Structures are given as C-alpha cells and as structure tokens.
Amino acid sequence: MKQAFDKDYWESHWQQADGHGPGREIVPNPYLAREISSLAPGTALDAGCGEGAEAIWLSTEGWQVTAADISTEALARASERATKGCVAPERVQWVEADLSVWEPGKQFDLVTTHYAHPAMPQLAFYERISGWVAPGGTLLIVGHLHTSETPGHGHSQEQRGHGHNPPEEVSVTAASITVGLDATEWDIVTADEPIRTLTNRAGRTVQLDDVVVRATRRS
C-alpha cells in the first residue's frame, strides 16, 4: 500500500524521528547554493521547508522568504533555529500549509522545493508549485531520482526525513519534470541527475541519487 504523506504522517515523523532535535546542526541542500547564488535576491517560497535549512540560508543571502510546511513540529524547529541563528523575524514567514490545497495568493521570484513528499502525486505537485513562479522568476526542484533500484514501497529515513531509498511514488526523473514545463513558457537551465554521498548517523556512507531541475519562467 502506498504511503499517504498527509499531516498525520509528517507530524508523527518529526515527533518521533531520532536525531532530528533542534540542537542538531542542519545544512542547506548543496544544490540550492549551486543553482541560485548568481540570482539577485527577491521574494522566495520554500515549499515543504521542513526544519528550515534552505529557508534560513536564503534569508541570510538577502531573500524575503515564505517557508511553508504541513508539519507544526517541523515549523517550530525551523523557527527556533532561525531565532538562534539571529535571522530577523521579518526575513522569513513560517506558514503551516497543506501544499496540495494551499494557495499563496501571490507569485514569487523563486519557488524551490527539496525532497518534499506532498499528499498528492509528485509530478502534479511540481506542476502546481510552478504556477507560483512570477514572470522572469526561477523554479528550482530537488527530488529523489527514480532508478531501477527504487523500491515499490518502504521509506528508509537517512537525512532530514528523506531517505536514500525512497518509495517509488515520490521518485522522478529530470525528463519527467521538464516535460511538464511548457516550452513556450519556460527555459530549462538545469536538468541534472547527480549522485552524491554522505555519512549517515550510523557512520555508514550512503549514496543519494538526486534530480535537480532549474527553470526560468519567460517574462
């Protein structure tokens, strides 16, 4: 049976996952800095912000950030980290929202998401958030790559709630994302399927198969 990534799932995950306490250091996804460091800061939406690493980093780089997540627990930890990191409260707005139904009511210069697993089909989620990018703005998606080893079920949790062995329903390819972006409206800047390694809490080296897509909405 497929996992329902609804509010109950994410609240339980953040409340129970070992090693995810507010005292633990977290770092932003490396692809975020790689892809957007050359952009002029403006307004940004971090869709599925989790513990807030990306939102906090964006705020320190001059972005005005809206950080949305379905989990109250995750947002509390993110807000606490921002406060401890001396992030000005007006730089980040933390929003509790089910991204499968929430409407921001405006568009942003940057919309980004990192391994978010919404309560809706993955590609439909990416299509949904793409509509929140302002003309001339940037969409940055970092997700789990669908490979021949991707399991049909299960969810091994290794990094910030996102496993190196994700279930099939949340894994995608660069091509499956870019085909959903109308070529008359979008310029594809990056469509990459990089592999990186990290050390998990048990001291083992694990491999992450990622998808990175960056696109610019034409003005």
Give me the CATH number covering residue 211: 3.40.50.150
Q: Does the predicted TM-score (pTM) go above 0.75?
A: yes
| 37 located within any domain | no
Nearest CA to 210 out of 93, 35, 67 is that of: 35
Say if residues 94 and 75 touch (Cβ distance below 8 Å).
yes
Q: How many CB atoms lie within 10 A of CB 175?
A: 12
Q: What is the mean pLDDT of the chain?
A: 88
What is the reported pLDDT for 24? 60
Please give the residue range of the domain that contains residue 136.
7-16+42-217
Tokens standing for residue 142: 């970092």
* Segment among 23-32, 92-101, 129-138, 186-195 with least mean pLDDT: 23-32
Residue 180 has pLDDT above 70, yes or no: yes
Q: How far lies 186's CA from each of 20, 36, 216, in Å? A: 37, 17, 6
Calculate what percentage of the chain has a pLDDT beyond 90: 69
What is the reported pLDDT for 164? 55
Residue 198 has pLDDT above 90, yes or no: no
| 87 located within any domain | yes
| Count of structural domains, the chain | 1
| 27 located within any domain | no
